[in-house]
A and B are shown apart, each in its own frame.
Chain A
């Protein structure tokens, strides 16, 4: 009786196993892919905050992240530029930070990351030729409180919940099979 029941279970498992392999593998691939994608999309995204004409050509500024918060903010200048191009950030209370724009790996763009350390209103000036105000592009930027650290760390932090769920399911199934 027990042997028949065991065979029935194995037969049922056989059938599902056909499809399971494909999906189990797909999930593994997705996990691996997620790792790749989270890596590949760092400093990804952003928002166009300024467009206009400077140094006789069209230009645009992209900042990332799209909703800046206290911490690193990346400024990308798309357009004509000269060595010594600068990005200057000034907080409402007078705090000023400056950085040099350096060639980015996309086309002829230049980029600079500034650590904006204060919440509130910042005035940003991008000077594409490094010669002062004549060619500068100006725009305001609102910086919010930094997100809680767990909001970026949660996948690694709580990976144990998924692992325990998988382990418990397996243990439960195995114990049930052993007892039946």
Chain B
């Protein structure tokens, strides 16, 4: 896919360099739109071509070229110097409109983009969202109307005539929002108009082919009317250009005549050429006089969408050349953890012996600003890479060669209660004692974690520390429940035939002096595990499986939360109250933690502490607890409102559904620190190098300040929160659906009655908890709009 994105990135670079301007600020949005669209097309195009010769012939190379060319022309029209010149000269504006209505749309349709873009979508999205929506009667009717040629013709005539009315044209020049509407409507009308002319596969013809000739000629009339008006009117049509033209030394009337010429001559040619081509093709074609419609494309159906193209077999990350082979090696994974342990040791040493000035100390910057940001992005983009590279378990992996633990973790403590309590304690201490601002405290926390993890895992079997104690691990595992990848058995049949179950039990080595390959220390039996909960991505199971039947494959993020079903090592998720409470801590803690850095909250707490002579630490710690309790109460009251299942199940399902929202809050919070605070790492590293006499550059403290938040950051934060809330509400709906169906299943099997679970019932039950989640989102939205107290940096107050 990257090979397709690369030319576009290069193009954006050229444009940015060429005009040295707006793109610099807006590049993320421009590139996002262009790259996502092209990547989607390229992915689907390749998948379809892999299906056989007929598909390869239909989706030949030039279609792909047409798609990229359409984007290229669109970028020239909207994000190049032409766009700016269009504000100053009517002729340039006319070229821009011509590109949007007459060049971009036919190029898009020549690419036959529907199939490639649909197959470029993730399978679940295609089948679970796009498919059912396309089949909805209302959508069907709407589409049937919209794709009627007469609608396209009228739309094109309206935009051509309407937008050139002087008052409307000048409104668009004055107001950027209207300017956007103008361009969007031109492109939309162009797409509708050119659809029946180009007939991209699998468009089915509505009118005889020859009808396109009067269709195109008639469209040229509206074009001619505007062009003639501009050409023959002796007055300047748009006052804006009269004012500016004089100052630029351009005769505005001449500019207007040039614009008319562009609209008239090239515009008419673009309409009339296809009309002539259609006529010629029809009359020259043997035996055809344009009456009989040619053969229509074969009907395509939703089942076609379900048929996976060859390239859609689950793509296992472990099959990627080099990276996959490396990750399969236990030694490489241990090496990764040992490298991280060495880095942690360096940070701890600097935290203890370095200056106690957080922005200039490795312990004050790398773990809090950089690692947290990197970890949350890596987990949400791929999988639980943070646990996989965890330095805390490196010592136990080495020491277990000589020390074999014999005890099992006490049955009474086999839950998430300890870990949950530690997360609360962590969040309270973070706020109360400003842990991030103390390199010394950071160093001792790091050392404490390594010692505790090693001690627990040398005393008890398996990975008891990760599973029952580690608060960081629980946070990362909860985040990874909405990650797009999961450790899974590749072929269920192979597992069904497997007798050894080494992925769980471990595999004794067959080579002398080499250690046994351990099985899953967290007690997960891979073929029976559902979701990422409790999985540290240690990949021990991958090495132990003798059939190479385990991979890291794509899953629907959050689907296991909606199922809340039975999973190996966990039991039925919907019944695990401790996990429900942990999920609540995860989400409400995310909001409380972010709120604690917003300036108004900090100010209010400071004022109360001063006025009432209360210890600020006590007050800040109490704020976290009260905020989290408030959030938990909100979720619990929503659970009371839903009926039809035991309270714990209802509460758990709502709490689990809140995880995507919590994940987006953590992403927004840590992402903000990462983006605005990244230079602090450089300052701290330079200070260390200077202290070690490895560099003569004296560190400049000003470097440790943050960068000014870029313009796109707040909209991007809201977009992330929107995605999180939408995913949470979606998981909630499916979870309630599953809960009601389960109850119905039990009832109907005992009393032979029919199921009463309808979408309407599910939606009614969904409303109360959905409101609770929206309330949590609105709290976080308020936090995002507040100025922030910058932490781990040397300044920048808002």
Interface residues of A (CB under 8 A from B): 9-26, 28-48, 51, 57-60, 62, 65-66, 78-79, 105-107, 149, 153, 155-160, 163-164, 166-177, 179
Contacts and interface: CB of A to CB of B under 8 A. Distances in A.
Contacts of A157: 718, 721-722, 781
B188 A10 contact: no
Contact of A164 (B113, B730, B758): B730
B88 A106 contact: yes
A79 B184 contact: no
B243 A48 contact: yes
Contacts of B710: none
A77 to B, nearest CB: 9
A160 B545 CA distance: 42
B37 A10 contact: no
A107 to B, nearest CB: 6
8 closest pairs, A vs B, by CB? A21-B114, A39-B26, A16-B140, A163-B726, A173-B132, A32-B33, A35-B33, A156-B718
A24 B84 contact: no
B113 A175 contact: no
A58 B246 contact: yes
A171 B759 CA distance: 8
A68 B157 CA distance: 35
Contacts of B759: 171-172, 175-176
A149 B726 contact: no
Contact of A174 (B22, B128, B725, B730): B128
B78 A18 contact: no
Contacts of A172: 759, 763
A36 B78 contact: yes
B26 A40 contact: yes
B52 interface: no
Interface stretch (B260-268, B297-305, B577-585, B643-651): B297-305
A168 B174 CA distance: 39
Contact of A48 (B37, B142, B244, B758): B244
Contacts of A149: 785
Nearest to A165: B726
Given A15-B299, A36-B30, A44-B87, 20 more contacts: A10-B302, A13-B134, A16-B135, A16-B139, A16-B144, A18-B299, A18-B300, A19-B144, A20-B139, A20-B140, A22-B195, A29-B113, A30-B184, A33-B74, A33-B183, A36-B78, A40-B22, A42-B176, A153-B718, A170-B130
B147 to A, nearest CB: 4
User: Secondary structure of the A side of the interface?
Assistant: helix
B143 A23 contact: yes
Contact of A57 (B133, B195, B249): B249
B117 interface: yes
B22 A106 contact: no
10 contacts: A14-B300, A16-B140, A20-B134, A20-B139, A28-B37, A29-B108, A42-B25, A62-B244, A66-B175, A163-B723
B4 interface: no
A38 B28 CA distance: 12
A19 B247 CA distance: 50
A156 B761 CA distance: 30
B174 A66 contact: yes
Contacts of B130: 24, 170
Contact of A24 (B85, B118, B718): B118
B614 to A, nearest CB: 33
B718 A36 contact: no
A154 B695 CA distance: 49
Interface string B123-154: 00000111111111001101110110000000
- Most chain A CB within 10 A, of B23, B114, B725, is at B114
B470 interface: no
Contacts of A57: 247, 249
A78 B247 contact: yes
A172 B737 CA distance: 11
B187 A29 contact: yes
- Most chain B CB within 10 A, of A32, A36, A153, A169, is at A36
Interface in B711-761: 714-716, 718-719, 721-723, 725-726, 729-730, 733-734, 737, 755, 758-759
Given A19-B146, A23-B146, A10 B301 contact: yes
Given A25-B117, A36-B74, A45-B174, A156 B243 contact: no
Contacts, number: 262
B667 interface: no
Contacts of A171: 132, 730, 733-734, 737, 759
User: Secondary structure of the B side of the interface?
Assistant: helix
B220 interface: no
Contacts of B147: 19, 22-23
- Most chain A CB within 10 A, of B29, B74, B714, is at B29
Contact of A39 (B30, B173, B200): B30
B83 interface: yes
A112 B542 CA distance: 60
Given A12-B135, A42-B26, A22 B34 contact: no
B72 interface: no
Given A19-B143, A59-B247, A159 B179 contact: no
Contact of B114 (A22, A65, A164): A22
- Most chain B CB within 10 A, of A166, A167, A168, is at A167
Given A106-B88, A156-B715, A164 B36 contact: no
B203 interface: yes
A88 B780 CA distance: 40
Contacts of B180: 34, 37-38, 41
B19 interface: yes
A89 B794 CA distance: 33
B661 to A, nearest CB: 10
B81 A105 contact: yes
Nearest to A54: B247
A13 B29 contact: no
Interface in B469-504: none
Nearest to B305: A17
B323 interface: no
Given A17-B302, A18-B204, A168 B144 contact: no
- Most chain A CB within 10 A, of B129, B135, B139, B714, is at B135
A66 B173 CA distance: 10
A22 B117 CA distance: 10
Contact of B133 (A12, A14, A170): A170
B701 interface: no
Contacts of B191: 26, 29
A36 B29 contact: yes
B21 interface: yes
B132 A170 contact: yes
Given A60-B243, A106-B87, A37 B78 contact: yes
A61 B415 CA distance: 70
A175 B762 contact: yes
Contact of B135 (A13, A66, A107): A13
Given A13-B301, A14-B302, A40-B79, A164 B726 contact: yes
B175 A45 contact: yes
Contact of B188 (A30, A106, A173, A175): A30
Interface in B263-313: 299-303
Nearest to A175: B759
Contacts of A25: 113-114, 117-118
Given A20-B139, A21-B118, A23-B143, A158 B184 contact: no
A16 to B, nearest CB: 4
B145 to A, nearest CB: 9
Nearest to B240: A48
Contacts of B571: none
